[in-house]
Amino acid sequence: MKNNLVAVITLICTLTLDILTKNFVEKNFNFQDKIDYFDGLLRIALVYNEGGVFGILQGYKKFFLIISIVVLVFMIAYYIFEKNKTLLFSISMALIMSGAIGNIIDRLISHRPGVVDFISIGVDSVYRWPSFNVADAIIIIGAIMLVIIFYKEEKKRKSINSNQQ
């Protein structure tokens, strides 16, 4: 029960952060505006992503809305039916679901042409990573945590199996 409460609090806090940052950037930046930090290594600039991850398939907003909702439903079902809900697992799933919900909300807002992205990392003359937002970052953090959890569980399972033989 405690893990579920932590998951809900994590989801609410990260979703709120995502919504507030997107609204702030959308209200205070035009398409030409940008703020560079660390000699341009970190850039804040308003970008609308009408496609999927890393801007692929631009113009397929509804397609990615449907895919996002389907994936979110599967994630919720997986969380509900998972019997071994450690604290780390609960937090990682909450992060992934929160990010998915944040990007779904963007796709549902009629005046937005796409998901609000605003964080860009890189050097213009060398390489600049595609723009992203808080939701994207927390999805990646949650996914990395999930991989670590699965790796540790598999390692533990192999150790138990080798000790039994």
The residue extents of the domains of the chain are: 2-155
pLDDT for the residue 165? 66
Write down the pLDDT at residue 134: 97
* Residue 117 known to be catalytic: yes
> What is the predicted pLDDT for the residue at 115?
94
33 is an active site residue: no
pLDDT digits 0-9 by tens, 131-143: 999 999 999 999 9
pLDDT at 125: 86
Point out the catalytic residue in the list 18, 106, 117, 124.
117
pLDDT at 46: 96
Residue 93: how many CB atoms within 10 A of its CB? Answer: 24
Q: Which residues of the chain have pLDDT under 70?
A: 165
118: buried, middle or exposed (CB in 10 Å: 19+, 13-18, 0-12)? buried
pLDDT at 1: 80
